[in-house]
Copies of this chain bind each other. A is one copy, B any other.
Amino acid sequence: MSLRHAILVLLQDQEASGYDLAREFANSIGLVWNATHQQIYLELGKLSEQDMVRYRHVPQEGKPDKKLYSLTDAGRAELVRWLKKPAGPARIRDAFMVKVAGGALADTQVLLSELDTLAKQRRERLATFEALAQRLDESGRDENVYNYLTVRRGILDQRAWLQWAEEVRHSLEHRSADSTAS
């Protein structure tokens, strides 16, 4: 249960609305921890009840009003406390990998086309991250170490996945050629 801590981390740098956070969870941090907007608004509600964050109402023109949240001292303290104790193991739910494992019963063509779709997404992300890494590298290095390392993780992860995808394509195309021939 540390969606709350992920939110606190994001609010550490800058104040943000629930909507802003949702976007960040869809991009950068999303590779590491995902959450939908409903979860985020709910958690922000709890956090502000517990005085870990505060918000100020910001009226806008042409757009709905928003609430900009920021950390309180209690929130920062909670974050520091959490950072000290060991993190639990990472958890993943990768349905596509489950499919590959059960591939013997699957239609190879279906798997291949899904692989393509996913590979495309990964390539896009990779490009985004590489651009981001370069920007971070140029403007101040040491100040952004933690952001930089996070982005690097994203890059290495995408590359590893894409390399694996190549192997899969090779194996499956080989297979489908066999079965087409027979």
A residues with CB within 8 A of B = 2, 5-6, 8-9, 12, 29, 31-34, 76, 79-80, 83-84, 86-88, 90-107, 110, 114, 117, 142, 145-150, 152-153, 156-157, 159-161, 163-164, 167-168, 171-172, 175
Contacts and interface: CB of A to CB of B under 8 A. Distances in A.
Closest 8 pairs (CB-CB, A-B): A9-B102, A87-B95, A160-B160, A90-B94, A103-B146, A32-B97, A83-B106, A87-B96
Contacts of A97: 32-33, 90, 150, 153
Copies of the polypeptide in the assembly:
2
B98 A32 contact: yes
Contact of A98 (B6, B104, B160, B164): B6
